[in-house]
Structure 1
Protein backbone atom coordinates (compact mmCIF):
# COMPACT_ATOMS: atom_id res chain seq x y z
CA UNK A 1 0.00 0.00 0.00
CA UNK A 2 1.14 3.52 -0.75
CA UNK A 3 -0.27 6.87 0.32
CA UNK A 4 -0.38 9.47 -2.43
CA UNK A 5 -2.12 12.71 -3.34
CA UNK A 6 -5.54 12.54 -4.96
CA UNK A 7 -5.58 12.77 -8.76
CA UNK A 8 -8.44 13.98 -10.98
CA UNK A 9 -8.93 10.41 -12.25
CA UNK A 10 -9.69 9.27 -8.67
CA UNK A 11 -13.01 11.13 -8.47
CA UNK A 12 -15.35 8.25 -9.34
CA UNK A 13 -13.51 5.82 -7.06
CA UNK A 14 -13.56 8.35 -4.20
CA UNK A 15 -17.28 8.97 -4.53
CA UNK A 16 -17.90 5.20 -4.55
CA UNK A 17 -15.66 4.78 -1.48
CA UNK A 18 -17.43 7.54 0.43
CA UNK A 19 -20.82 6.08 -0.46
CA UNK A 20 -19.70 2.62 0.68
CA UNK A 21 -18.46 4.18 3.94
CA UNK A 22 -21.77 6.04 4.41
CA UNK A 23 -20.06 9.45 4.41
CA UNK A 24 -22.12 11.17 1.74
CA UNK A 25 -25.17 13.27 2.52
CA UNK A 26 -27.77 14.70 0.13
CA UNK A 27 -26.81 18.30 0.93
CA UNK A 28 -23.11 17.76 0.09
CA UNK A 29 -22.12 17.04 -3.49
CA UNK A 30 -19.03 14.83 -3.09
CA UNK A 31 -17.76 15.72 -6.57
CA UNK A 32 -17.83 19.40 -5.66
CA UNK A 33 -16.08 18.64 -2.36
CA UNK A 34 -13.34 16.79 -4.25
CA UNK A 35 -12.92 19.59 -6.80
CA UNK A 36 -12.84 22.27 -4.09
CA UNK A 37 -10.25 20.43 -2.02
CA UNK A 38 -8.01 19.85 -5.04
CA UNK A 39 -7.79 23.69 -5.28
CA UNK A 40 -6.82 24.27 -1.62
CA UNK A 41 -3.97 22.40 0.10
CA UNK A 42 -4.24 19.51 -2.35
CA UNK A 43 -1.18 17.91 -0.74
CA UNK A 44 -3.36 17.23 2.33
CA UNK A 45 -5.92 15.24 0.31
CA UNK A 46 -4.60 11.70 0.03
CA UNK A 47 -5.59 8.15 -0.73
CA UNK A 48 -4.22 4.78 0.28
CA UNK A 49 -3.69 2.76 -2.88
CA UNK A 50 -3.14 -0.99 -3.14
CA UNK A 51 -0.32 -2.48 -5.18
CA UNK A 52 -2.83 -3.21 -7.96
CA UNK A 53 -4.07 0.41 -8.04
CA UNK A 54 -7.31 0.11 -6.04
CA UNK A 55 -8.16 2.94 -3.66
CA UNK A 56 -8.44 1.44 -0.20
CA UNK A 57 -9.00 4.63 1.77
CA UNK A 58 -8.96 8.40 1.74
CA UNK A 59 -8.62 11.40 4.00
CA UNK A 60 -9.00 15.12 3.43
CA UNK A 61 -7.15 17.48 5.78
CA UNK A 62 -6.37 21.15 6.09
CA UNK A 63 -4.61 23.69 8.27
CA UNK A 64 -5.71 27.28 8.81
CA UNK A 65 -2.77 28.44 10.92
CA UNK A 66 -4.59 27.75 14.19
CA UNK A 67 -5.97 24.21 13.93
CA UNK A 68 -5.83 21.32 11.57
CA UNK A 69 -8.99 19.58 10.40
CA UNK A 70 -9.57 16.11 9.08
CA UNK A 71 -12.58 15.07 6.97
CA UNK A 72 -13.69 12.18 4.79
CA UNK A 73 -11.55 9.53 6.46
CA UNK A 74 -12.84 6.40 4.78
CA UNK A 75 -11.71 2.82 4.38
CA UNK A 76 -13.13 0.46 1.80
CA UNK A 77 -15.28 -2.13 3.64
CA UNK A 78 -13.06 -4.99 2.38
CA UNK A 79 -9.94 -3.26 3.77
CA UNK A 80 -11.26 -2.45 7.26
CA UNK A 81 -9.15 -3.72 10.12
CA UNK A 82 -5.98 -3.82 7.99
CA UNK A 83 -4.42 -0.55 9.21
CA UNK A 84 -5.43 1.61 6.24
CA UNK A 85 -7.28 4.22 8.34
CA UNK A 86 -4.51 4.32 10.94
CA UNK A 87 -1.90 4.85 8.21
CA UNK A 88 -3.93 7.68 6.67
CA UNK A 89 -4.40 9.41 10.04
CA UNK A 90 -0.69 9.06 10.86
CA UNK A 91 0.21 10.47 7.43
CA UNK A 92 -2.02 13.53 7.95
CA UNK A 93 -0.75 14.04 11.51
CA UNK A 94 2.84 13.98 10.25
CA UNK A 95 2.14 16.43 7.42
CA UNK A 96 0.28 18.82 9.71
CA UNK A 97 3.00 18.64 12.35
CA UNK A 98 5.54 19.56 9.66
CA UNK A 99 3.43 22.67 8.98
CA UNK A 100 3.56 23.62 12.67
CA UNK A 101 -0.03 22.64 13.39
CA UNK A 102 -0.53 22.46 17.18
CA UNK A 103 -3.85 20.56 17.26
CA UNK A 104 -5.95 18.44 14.92
CA UNK A 105 -9.75 18.51 15.10
CA UNK A 106 -12.38 16.34 13.46
CA UNK A 107 -16.07 15.70 13.71
CA UNK A 108 -17.84 12.36 14.07
CA UNK A 109 -21.59 11.88 13.95
CA UNK A 110 -22.87 11.51 17.50
CA UNK A 111 -24.36 8.06 16.87
CA UNK A 112 -21.17 6.56 15.38
CA UNK A 113 -19.70 4.93 18.49
CA UNK A 114 -17.35 2.62 16.55
CA UNK A 115 -15.62 5.55 14.86
CA UNK A 116 -15.39 7.48 18.13
CA UNK A 117 -13.70 4.44 19.68
CA UNK A 118 -11.30 4.19 16.70
CA UNK A 119 -10.17 7.77 17.25
CA UNK A 120 -9.93 7.33 21.02
CA UNK A 121 -7.64 4.36 20.39
CA UNK A 122 -5.41 6.72 18.37
CA UNK A 123 -5.22 9.20 21.24
CA UNK A 124 -8.05 11.57 20.35
CA UNK A 125 -10.38 12.83 23.06
CA UNK A 126 -13.80 14.40 23.01
CA UNK A 127 -13.61 18.19 23.27
CA UNK A 128 -16.39 19.83 25.25
CA UNK A 129 -17.49 22.08 22.39
CA UNK A 130 -20.55 22.66 20.28
CA UNK A 131 -20.07 22.34 16.55
CA UNK A 132 -21.89 25.01 14.58
CA UNK A 133 -22.14 25.37 10.84
CA UNK A 134 -23.53 27.67 8.17
CA UNK A 135 -23.74 26.76 4.51
CA UNK A 136 -22.41 29.54 2.30
CA UNK A 137 -22.80 27.73 -1.05
CA UNK A 138 -25.65 25.33 -1.67
CA UNK A 139 -24.62 22.17 -3.48
Structure 2
Protein backbone atom coordinates (compact mmCIF):
# COMPACT_ATOMS: atom_id res chain seq x y z
CA UNK A 1 0.00 0.00 0.00
CA UNK A 2 1.15 3.50 -0.89
CA UNK A 3 0.06 6.67 0.94
CA UNK A 4 0.26 9.81 -1.15
CA UNK A 5 -1.38 13.22 -1.53
CA UNK A 6 -4.76 13.43 -3.27
CA UNK A 7 -4.80 14.13 -7.02
CA UNK A 8 -7.83 15.65 -8.75
CA UNK A 9 -8.04 12.50 -10.88
CA UNK A 10 -8.89 10.64 -7.62
CA UNK A 11 -12.17 12.53 -7.18
CA UNK A 12 -14.60 9.91 -8.52
CA UNK A 13 -12.85 7.07 -6.71
CA UNK A 14 -12.80 9.01 -3.43
CA UNK A 15 -16.49 9.91 -3.64
CA UNK A 16 -17.28 6.23 -4.33
CA UNK A 17 -15.08 5.20 -1.39
CA UNK A 18 -16.82 7.63 0.96
CA UNK A 19 -20.20 6.36 -0.20
CA UNK A 20 -19.18 2.73 0.30
CA UNK A 21 -17.81 3.55 3.76
CA UNK A 22 -21.04 5.30 4.79
CA UNK A 23 -19.54 8.78 5.15
CA UNK A 24 -21.70 10.67 2.64
CA UNK A 25 -24.70 12.50 4.04
CA UNK A 26 -27.47 14.28 2.08
CA UNK A 27 -26.53 17.66 3.52
CA UNK A 28 -22.86 17.38 2.48
CA UNK A 29 -21.78 17.47 -1.15
CA UNK A 30 -18.61 15.35 -1.16
CA UNK A 31 -17.32 17.03 -4.32
CA UNK A 32 -17.72 20.44 -2.70
CA UNK A 33 -15.87 19.14 0.37
CA UNK A 34 -13.03 17.98 -1.90
CA UNK A 35 -12.88 21.38 -3.62
CA UNK A 36 -12.80 23.09 -0.23
CA UNK A 37 -9.95 20.89 0.98
CA UNK A 38 -7.94 21.52 -2.17
CA UNK A 39 -8.10 25.24 -1.35
CA UNK A 40 -6.68 24.73 2.19
CA UNK A 41 -3.68 22.50 2.96
CA UNK A 42 -4.14 20.20 -0.05
CA UNK A 43 -0.91 18.41 0.88
CA UNK A 44 -2.75 17.10 3.96
CA UNK A 45 -5.42 15.28 1.92
CA UNK A 46 -4.12 11.71 1.97
CA UNK A 47 -4.94 8.78 -0.27
CA UNK A 48 -3.96 5.17 0.24
CA UNK A 49 -3.55 3.19 -2.93
CA UNK A 50 -3.25 -0.53 -3.51
CA UNK A 51 -2.41 -1.84 -6.95
CA UNK A 52 -3.27 1.55 -8.45
CA UNK A 53 -6.74 1.65 -6.85
CA UNK A 54 -7.81 4.11 -4.17
CA UNK A 55 -8.56 2.11 -1.00
CA UNK A 56 -8.41 4.80 1.66
CA UNK A 57 -8.50 8.51 2.40
CA UNK A 58 -8.00 11.00 5.20
CA UNK A 59 -8.52 14.76 5.21
CA UNK A 60 -6.06 16.18 7.70
CA UNK A 61 -5.92 19.76 8.92
CA UNK A 62 -4.00 21.95 11.33
CA UNK A 63 -5.11 25.37 12.47
CA UNK A 64 -2.06 26.21 14.59
CA UNK A 65 -3.77 25.00 17.76
CA UNK A 66 -5.20 21.53 17.05
CA UNK A 67 -5.05 18.99 14.30
CA UNK A 68 -8.08 17.25 12.89
CA UNK A 69 -8.83 14.25 10.74
CA UNK A 70 -12.00 13.95 8.66
CA UNK A 71 -13.17 11.56 5.98
CA UNK A 72 -10.96 8.75 7.23
CA UNK A 73 -12.24 5.92 5.08
CA UNK A 74 -11.06 2.49 4.02
CA UNK A 75 -12.69 0.41 1.34
CA UNK A 76 -14.97 -2.01 3.22
CA UNK A 77 -13.36 -4.93 1.36
CA UNK A 78 -9.96 -3.85 2.74
CA UNK A 79 -10.95 -3.01 6.31
CA UNK A 80 -9.03 -4.94 8.92
CA UNK A 81 -5.83 -4.96 6.84
CA UNK A 82 -4.17 -2.07 8.68
CA UNK A 83 -4.86 0.62 6.09
CA UNK A 84 -6.76 2.84 8.53
CA UNK A 85 -3.95 2.49 11.07
CA UNK A 86 -1.39 3.41 8.41
CA UNK A 87 -3.38 6.47 7.31
CA UNK A 88 -3.71 7.69 10.89
CA UNK A 89 0.00 7.08 11.55
CA UNK A 90 0.85 9.20 8.50
CA UNK A 91 -1.62 11.91 9.57
CA UNK A 92 -0.05 11.97 13.05
CA UNK A 93 3.46 12.09 11.57
CA UNK A 94 2.61 15.02 9.29
CA UNK A 95 0.87 16.92 12.08
CA UNK A 96 3.78 16.32 14.49
CA UNK A 97 6.16 17.72 11.85
CA UNK A 98 4.03 20.87 11.79
CA UNK A 99 4.31 21.19 15.59
CA UNK A 100 0.72 20.12 16.25
CA UNK A 101 0.27 19.28 19.96
CA UNK A 102 -3.05 17.40 19.76
CA UNK A 103 -5.46 15.82 17.27
CA UNK A 104 -9.23 15.80 17.42
CA UNK A 105 -11.49 13.44 15.50
CA UNK A 106 -15.27 13.60 15.37
CA UNK A 107 -17.18 10.34 15.33
CA UNK A 108 -20.92 9.89 15.23
CA UNK A 109 -21.85 8.70 18.72
CA UNK A 110 -23.69 5.64 17.39
CA UNK A 111 -20.69 4.43 15.36
CA UNK A 112 -19.34 2.02 17.98
CA UNK A 113 -17.04 0.18 15.57
CA UNK A 114 -15.18 3.38 14.63
CA UNK A 115 -15.05 4.49 18.26
CA UNK A 116 -13.35 1.16 19.00
CA UNK A 117 -10.92 1.73 16.10
CA UNK A 118 -9.79 5.06 17.55
CA UNK A 119 -9.61 3.70 21.10
CA UNK A 120 -7.25 1.06 19.70
CA UNK A 121 -5.03 3.92 18.51
CA UNK A 122 -4.96 5.43 22.04
CA UNK A 123 -7.55 8.15 21.35
CA UNK A 124 -9.81 8.94 24.28
CA UNK A 125 -13.14 10.59 24.74
CA UNK A 126 -12.92 14.30 25.55
CA UNK A 127 -15.20 15.98 28.04
CA UNK A 128 -16.57 18.43 25.50
CA UNK A 129 -19.70 18.92 23.44
CA UNK A 130 -19.39 19.33 19.70
CA UNK A 131 -21.68 21.92 18.22
CA UNK A 132 -22.03 23.05 14.64
CA UNK A 133 -23.70 25.62 12.47
CA UNK A 134 -23.92 25.41 8.72
CA UNK A 135 -22.74 28.61 7.02
CA UNK A 136 -23.01 27.40 3.43
CA UNK A 137 -25.72 25.02 2.26
CA UNK A 138 -24.45 22.52 -0.30
CA UNK A 139 -26.56 22.17 -3.42
CA UNK A 140 -27.94 18.67 -3.90
TM-score when normalising by structure 1 = 0.98
Partner deviation per Cα, 1:37-86 (whole Å, 9 max, x = no partner) = 01110111011001x21011000010000000100000001110000000
Query: Which residues in structure 2 correspond to 1:1-139 (within 5 Å)?
Result: 1-50=1-50, 52-139=51-138
Q: Structure 1: any 5+ residue segments left out of the alignment?
A: none
- Runs of 4+ that moved beyond 2 A: none
SS of alignment partner, residue 127 of structure 1: coil
In 1, Cα distance between equivalents of 2:82 and 2:128: 29
In 1, Cα distance between equivalents of 2:100 and 2:19: 30
Partner deviation per Cα, 1:3-57 (whole Å, 9 max, x = no partner) = 000000100000000000000000000000001101110111011001x210110
SS of alignment partner, residue 48 of structure 1: strand
